[in-house]
Chain A
Amino acid sequence: MVGKMSTSRISFNLINYSFLTILSLLALFPFLNVLALSLSNKTAAAAGLVKLWPVDFTLSSYRFVFMRHEFFTALGISLERVLLGTAISMIISVLAAYPLSKEERAFPGRTLYAWIFVFTILFNGGLIPWYMTIKMTGILDSVWALVLPGAVQVFNCLLLLNFFRGLPKALEEAAFVDGASHWTTLGRIFVPLSTPVLATVTLFTVVGHWNAWFDGIVLMNSPSHYPLQSYLQTVVVKMNTSTFANIDPVQAKLLGEISDRTVKAAQIFMATLPIICVYPFLQRYFMSGIVLGSVKE
């Protein structure tokens, strides 16, 4: 009986392990293919010889991208956006979450405030009124257009306020007895005790800003003001062949070894790399973030 059970158990395990291994490989495979392409010679790429390993290894595509300032201008705007956007968004969200985490009794009006916040997730004006509002506030074509309209992430506020509520009431009361104001209570007690949730929300905000592309395309007037993902949207997805426009002799020499396809692959990989690098270290936080957000008791 025991022996029979373990045989079926062993075969199940075998199938399960193989299945999950294949699945992981399938998930990775597109990235490996793009990486291999970006490191391959253009003739090998065109002949369809590149699978998961570079053929006629060359760094020319990367050298080409490094010589073109567009990629780095866009990268700079992205970094500016991430830093500015995350700082603003976090400060505003923490400030808003604190009063919203109070009981109605302690802070009359908080339920009304909370509903004003939540209503914006339930109903919105749609794309055109959104665009016209931003235009009317005069921030079109500046980094503020990428930062301010989405600065209040209501879901993040809710996550923070639910965490704040779980903190021991006694700490807050003790602080009040000592004469602390709401500002000191928030800064000295709530914020230091909330590092797990703050880390999670910060990470989500950073990734959100890093990955955003649509607002860049719609709200910036010229491609030279695009953040990285918007820039890539035009050169990688929308088949814009301007990649090879105005080149100097040094770059012209490189053209023999690269193609539109390998350059695209190189740019995709360079934009993916930051996330791949930090991801394994941050994953823990993201997971706790998901659990905080979804599996609320």
Chain B
Amino acid sequence: MLSHRWKRLLPLHLMLLPALSLLLIYGYGPITGIVIAFQKFMPAKGMFGSPFVGLDNFKYVWNLPDTKQVLMNTVVIAFFKIVLNLLVPIVLALLLNEIRLKLFKRTVQTIIYLPYFLSWVLLGGILIDILSPSQGIVNDIIRALGFKPVFFLGDPGWFRFTVVFTDLWKEAGFNTIVFLAAVTNANPSLYEAAVIDGANRWKQTLSITLPSMLPVIILLATLSLGNVLNAGFDQIFNLYSPQVYSSGDILDTFIYRIGLIDTQYGVATAVGLFKSVISCVFISVSYMLAYRLAGYRIF
């Protein structure tokens, strides 16, 4: 009897085997690698032979003049991205929801959603060209309007603005479509009742459309909390240059440079561990909040 049950369950375990083994190697393997954060890591001696130095790597990084700036850049950029990537799509979804011409609505959706599917390499290539102060078309227009050209990617004052805005350009279409899908959750009879009560479109939007979007807004807002330390490696890596490190260098690019360029493995792993731990806390909290406030379950 027991063996029959086991026979029934064995295939289920077998089905999990490929995914599980890959996860153990490439998901959990790197987690054991964090011991390097506490070592003076020497590639020749490896993880098992390198001497332990306690918290020295952490102390070293903390005392680097750049670290606090990098942390600050990360949080500021991530914060503005999170806020704008919620607000702008909500407005866009509300505006699109008022469009009655189906073809027009679809076309706009399709166009604003397109950059989402291109890599930051391609978008970076395009942006570097069109934002160039000497040759770029954006500065041609700025000059034609009688202003001084702006060095969007080379001026530390403008860099953050450029990063947040171009991220919005790439990502806004995605959330807009999520919110548009949420709008359709609204009960049509509510609108009919509102019309009888004499409510105009604006009042209907405020008291019916927005509230019906609220669960999704809350869900996306809480889930985005997990990203406070993710300011967008792909984007920044493809757009930044040493001139703008002061305002644009983020934890991930910092780790890349210390680790893979300067080959200070121990130090880079320490910064990575710091990021992972804080991120883990934020992601867990965001999932918990999403469950409490919006009934979201991971599985």
Contacts and interface: CB of A to CB of B under 8 A. Distances in A.
Contacts of B11: 181-183
A98 B125 CA distance: 41
Contacts of A280: 110
A23 interface: yes
A96 interface: yes
Interface of B: 8-9, 11-13, 15-16, 18-20, 22-23, 25-34, 36, 47, 92, 95-96, 98-99, 104, 107-108, 110-115, 117-122, 124-130, 135, 137, 140, 169, 173-174, 177-178, 181-182, 185, 200-201, 216, 219-220, 233-234, 237-238, 252, 255-256, 259-260, 265, 268-269, 271-273, 275-277, 279-280, 283-284, 296-299
A295 B182 contact: yes
Given A20-B104, A127-B272, A232-B122, 10 more contacts: A92-B22, A99-B12, A118-B298, A122-B284, A125-B31, A126-B34, A128-B33, A132-B47, A261-B129, A294-B178
A281 B1 CA distance: 52
B255 to A, nearest CB: 5
Interface in A1-51: 5, 8-9, 12-13, 16-17, 19-21, 23-24, 27-28, 30-31, 33-34, 37, 45-46, 48, 50-51
Which secondary structure dominates where chain A touches chain B? helix
Contacts of B273: 125-126
A215 to B, nearest CB: 11
Contacts of B298: 118, 158
B129 A126 contact: no
A113 B252 CA distance: 30
A126 B196 CA distance: 58
The interface centre, meaning the residue of A16, A31, A271, A276 with most chain B CB atoms within 10 A of its CB, is A31
Interface in A259-284: 261, 264-265, 267-268, 271-272, 275-276, 279-280, 283
The interface centre, meaning the residue of A132, A218, A261 with most chain B CB atoms within 10 A of its CB, is A132
A120 B28 contact: yes
B255 A122 contact: no
Contacts of B95: 16, 19-20
Interface residues of A, number: 104
A148 B9 CA distance: 27
A24 B111 contact: yes
The interface centre, meaning the residue of A13, A210, A213 with most chain B CB atoms within 10 A of its CB, is A213
A100 interface: yes
Contacts of B31: 123-125, 129
A177 interface: no
Interface stretch (A60-68, A149-157, A244-252): A149-157
Nearest to B166: A30
A283 B113 contact: yes
Contacts of B216: 294-295
Contacts of B140: 48, 51
Given A16-B99, A96-B16, A137-B25, A128 B259 contact: yes
A258 interface: no
Interface in A73-100: 91-93, 95-96, 98-100
B126 A24 contact: no
A254 interface: no
Interface in A127-185: 127-134, 136-137, 148-152, 157-158, 161-162, 181-183
